Amino acid sequence: MSDITQLTAAISANSPAISIINGRLIDPANQIDKQINIHLQHGKIIALGDPPKNFTAQHIIDASHQIICPGLIDLRFRLREPSYETKGSIASETRAAVAGGVTALCCPPDTMPVIDNAAMVKLIRLKAETEGLAKVYTLSALTQQLQGEKLSEMRELKNAGCVGTTNALKAVKSTLVMRRALEYAASHDITVFIQAFDPWLSDGCAHEGAVSTRLGLAGIPVSAETIAIARDLQLIELTGAKAHFCHLSSAKAVQLIQQAQNDGLPITADVTAHHLHLTEMDIGFFDSNCHVLPPLRTQRDQDALRHGVKSGVISSIVSDHQPHSSDAKLAPFAETSAGISGVETLLPLALKMIEAQGMSISDVIARLTQQPAKILNLSEGTLSVGADADVCIFDPEAWWVVDRKKLLSRGKNTPFHGWELKGKVTYTIKSGEIVFATETHAN
């Protein structure tokens, strides 16, 4: 048994017995949506409904008028550690994650050093186990040092614990290299996470259109995304590899993914919460907090993304959490760092899809739990008896105002400052341990 496994087992064994009562339990994986109690012990879910014989809860949580669901799983989350600790650390960013109800997150390999060897995988996992509050899963580098030339040892990295592979925001310019990478991944049943963009068309900072022209900003056309998606879909069909497309941003991208899924290709896709609620118009007068990649696009694109989430073409909603230091957003728009600090607003922004698209709350929760777990091939994302006791409890009717100064993340770079959102996490439980409680519920 590894040191990490031993540490996890020891923590779970010392977890208190917890009963969560009077709440509405929603578990999309088991198609459960009803008021029922749930009981946790030794880091596992041991019963739904009545407690087992000889069970004595050390902690009782009254979840009246609240929703109990599996802990959220965020497919795209940058911890900033190692090497970028001034922006964030495993300790600070997992604290922000559990405040947002996230109990498991997936970290891309563009750290420093790059996650392209087993030692780096083990280092991050060990630090997460000892310093973090959420479970941390890693994606391996698709190519060595993310340079897009030589393939990484994907099988070795999978054996070390990586749940997939990606070249992150670094383009694989050679079609032959991408083909070989997909073939290698397919031979070892590894999912390839693809951030689709054409590097020669992506030398900009905003959507290419009326707004970028008016502001004098270099534009990134929709074709930068669709050309790359079209190429990779052809290679996926050729190799049979499983792939997940990250951060769709345009109506045409959704159309391409839907057609490929209809044709039977083994692909899935996600979208960021901010692309569901912001457009190029929100840049206003050069608001650098709206500088993201891929860029915010048109209202028509946003409508297509929302419809894609509702229909299931887009199966997951992610935060793409990227905390930045304050000075990273103080330069002229084009010179600022792209990305937002998004994990603490992930749940309420996802819940806005209930009113925006008429989705059921169960379907929204599925996009944050069951579906991400399926993509990563994890056992999490469910409240089944015997599953890890990863639980999020939230008040769906609680209104709160986003205040960047109160974010727990070191990154205060949010475009949602001042927004009034509905849906507030009250408790987060990871492996049977209460890792977050609001002040009114802390005692």
The first and second tokens of residue 374, run together, are 């399926």
Helical H runs in 132-264? Answer: 154-160, 175-187, 210-215, 223-239, 251-262
Burial class (CB in 10 A: 0-12, 13-18, 19+), 102: buried
pLDDT at 10 over 90: no
DSSP string, 287-316: -GGG--SSPP--HHHHHHHHHHHHHTSS-E
Rg (CA), the chain: 21
pLDDT at 12 over 70: no
Given pLDDT bands bounded at 50, 70 and 90, which one contains residue 7? very low
If we measure between CA atoms, which residue out of 169, 181, 51 comes closest to residue 114?
169
pTM: 0.94
Burial class (CB in 10 A: 0-12, 13-18, 19+), 419: middle
The number of angstroms, rounded, from the C-alpha of 181 to the middle of its chain's C-alpha atoms is 24
Give the 3-state secondary structure of residue 136.
strand
- Active-site residue 320, yes or no? yes
Count CA atoms closer than 13 A to 387's CA, side-chain side: 23
Q: Cα 140–146–147 angle (5° rounding)? A: 155
pLDDT at 14 over 80: no
Helical H runs in 266-389? Answer: 299-311, 346-351, 353-357, 361-368, 370-376
Q: By mean pLDDT, which of 84-88, 141-145, 412-416 is the weakest?
A: 84-88
Give the 3-state secondary structure of residue 437.
strand
Given pLDDT bands bounded at 50, 70 and 90, which one contains residue 81? confident
Phi and psi (nearest 5°) for 133? -110, -15
Q: Does domain 71-376 have CATH number 3.40.50.720?
A: no
What is the per-residue pLDDT across 329-348, written as a single tens digit (0 to 9) for each? 999 999 999 999 999 999 99
Given pLDDT bands bounded at 50, 70 and 90, which one contains residue 85? confident
Given pLDDT bands bounded at 50, 70 and 90, which one contains residue 6? very low
Q: Hey, which CATH number is domain 3-68+389-396+422-437, 1.10.10.10, 2.30.40.10, 3.40.50.10300, 1.10.1040.10? A: 2.30.40.10
Average pLDDT, the chain: 95
What is the per-residue pLDDT across 47-71, written as a single tens digit (0 to 9) for each? 999 999 999 999 999 999 999 999 9
pLDDT at 441 over 70: no
If we measure between CA atoms, which residue out of 163, 165, 170 comes closest to residue 182?
165
If we measure between CA atoms, which residue out of 239, 373, 251, 221 comes closest to residue 313?
251
Helix (H) or strand (E) holding 422: strand 420-430
Cα separation, 102 vs 83, in Å, equals 23
Candidate list 320, 388, 390, 395, residue with the active-site label: 320
Burial class (CB in 10 A: 0-12, 13-18, 19+), 64: exposed
* Residue 50: strand pairing partners: none
pLDDT of residue 82: 82
Given pLDDT bands bounded at 50, 70 and 90, which one contains residue 13? low
**Residue spans in the chain of domains classed CATH 2.30.40.10:** 3-68+389-396+422-437
Helix (H) or strand (E) holding 386: none
Contact 82, 114 (CB under 8 A): no
Q: Above pLDDT 70, what percent of the chain?
A: 96
Give Cβ neighbours of residue 190 (< 8 Å, ≥ 6 apart). Answer: 154, 155, 158, 164, 165, 184, 242
pLDDT at 3 over 70: no
Residues 374-385 have a mean pLDDT of 97
* Residue 60: strand pairing partners: 19
* Residue 73: strand pairing partners: 104
What is the per-residue pLDDT across 164-221, written as a single tens digit (0 to 9) for each? 999 999 999 999 999 999 999 999 999 999 999 999 999 999 999 999 999 999 999 9
**Residue spans in the chain of domains classed CATH 3.20.20.140:** 71-376
What is the per-residue pLDDT across 231-289, written as a single tens digit (0 to 9) for each? 999 999 999 999 999 999 999 999 999 999 999 999 999 999 999 999 999 999 999 99
The number of angstroms, rounded, from the C-alpha of 294 to the middle of its chain's C-alpha atoms is 16
Contact 402, 77 (CB under 8 A): no
pLDDT of residue 11: 47
The first and second tokens of residue 79, run together, are 């911890």
173 CB neighbour count, 10 Å cutoff: 12
If we measure between CA atoms, which residue out of 178, 281, 187 comes closest to residue 235?
178
pLDDT of residue 83: 79
